[in-house]
Amino acid sequence: MSGFSRVRRYVVVFSSLLLLGVGEGVTGYAPFSEILRANPDGTNVELVLTRERALATGSIEVDPDLGSTPLYWGLLDPFDQSPWGGPVPKIRRAGAYGFGIQTIVPWAEGPLAIDSVADKIYWVVGSDCEPCDSIHRADLDGSNAEQIFGSDITVNALAVDPVGGKIYWQGIHDSFEEKMWSVNLDGTDLQELFPTETASSLDIDVAARMLYWAEGNPSTIRRSNLDGSGMEDLVEGLARPQLTLDPDGDRMWWTEGSPGTVSRSSLDGSGVTQLISGLNWPGGISYMPAGGTAGDKIYFVANPGEVEVPVPAVSRRGALALVLLLLIAATAVLLRADRRTSA
């Protein structure tokens, strides 16, 4: 057997070793979030889902129509690595008790919002540049997905007014000034509403035609009419809260990542009460109204800490085989050149 044929055989052998090494993975640590629920007064805290890596925006929403899969949330999937590295952001949904999990959007980032009238879900797709976000929507099962606005915006918070046919969002468009904006549900008729600081959360009292949002750091929960008039400061001195409303019950709740609490007040900001404490960086929160088997509950995201999980990767043996393969390939090139020179 010639030297060059022998080299080719070695290349095949080491290629096989490389393929065996890829996919074995290494054991690493990844931060997983839990989805919990509680009674409106903070009692009876229950674990609904674990090992779900929710997005930093705390994206969790409840479909007020209380269908068979009313719970929607965003996550970073560590078991699905993007081509350029890092977990893939997705949207999933499940029943009120966490059963029947489905991935409905294979790539989605940022805050979520649900239009319970048209049965649509809205989300944000981001980019490395700024402002380069875009707003997308789909049916609640993820079908008929479409981009409706953007590619030159930054979206920090998002809410839908299905009655008025508007999307409200806080962020940047066409400049680097933070403002509140609105567009029609089909992405037309962009309107600049009023200047803000960076918002961590946004919700709408549809019946009263009012916006509620948290902005700044330390944060203040504010409300106003949809056009920004009649603005009021409701609760001050908070740590980047996520909020949710129950307009019929004159209640709102919010989480604070540090000090790790869930609190409640009336819609005018009076009667502030801390309900739950000792949580590890709670994030998004959403109210599920009464009417279903698990109705009149608050659902929220918290982080139990880091969990040891197998992460798909090239193993150490695969990496070593790759190095050896490159060395042998280089040797093959040199042998071939030497044979040509000798000839």
Tens of pLDDT, residue by residue over 182-241, are: 999 999 999 999 999 999 999 999 999 999 999 999 999 999 999 999 999 999 999 999
Asked if 12 and 42 sit in the same domain, the reply is no
pLDDT at residue 286, as a whole number: 95
Longest Cα separation, the chain: 94
pLDDT at residue 19, as a whole number: 36
Asked if 204 and 324 sit in the same domain, the reply is no
Asked if 302 and 248 sit in the same domain, the reply is yes
Asked if 86 and 18 sit in the same domain, the reply is no
Q: Would you say 60 and 69 are in contact if contact means Cβ atoms under 8 Å apart?
A: no
Asked if 174 and 83 sit in the same domain, the reply is yes
pLDDT digits (tens, 9 = 90+) for 124-149: 987 666 668 899 999 999 999 999 99
Q: How far apart are CA 183 and CA 212, in angstroms?
A: 17
Query: Would the CA dihedral through 304, 305, 309, 312 be positive or negative?
Result: positive
HEC profile of 234-256: EEEEECCCEEEEEHHHCEEEEEE
Name the residue range of residue 336's domain: 3-22+315-342
219: left (phi over 0), alpha (psi -120 to 50) or beta: beta
CATH number of domain containing 79: 2.120.10.30
Asked if 306 and 283 sit in the same domain, the reply is yes
DSSP H helices in 22-88:
none
Q: How far apart are CA 286 and CA 276, in angstroms?
A: 15
Instruction: Give the pTM.
Output: 0.79
Specify the higher pLDDT residue, 84 or 244.
244
Into how many domains does the chain fold? 2
Asked if 252 and 335 sit in the same domain, the reply is no
CA atoms within 13 A of residue 290's CA, in its CB half-sphere = 5
Asked if 116 and 86 sit in the same domain, the reply is yes
Asked if 234 and 328 sit in the same domain, the reply is no
Mean pLDDT confidence for 154-174? 93
Host H or E run for residue 32: strand 26-38
Is the model's pLDDT at 56 over the cut of 80?
Answer: no
Asked if 174 and 276 sit in the same domain, the reply is yes
Asked if 135 and 267 sit in the same domain, the reply is yes
Q: How many CB atoms lie within 10 A of CB 42?
A: 18
Asked if 101 and 176 sit in the same domain, the reply is yes
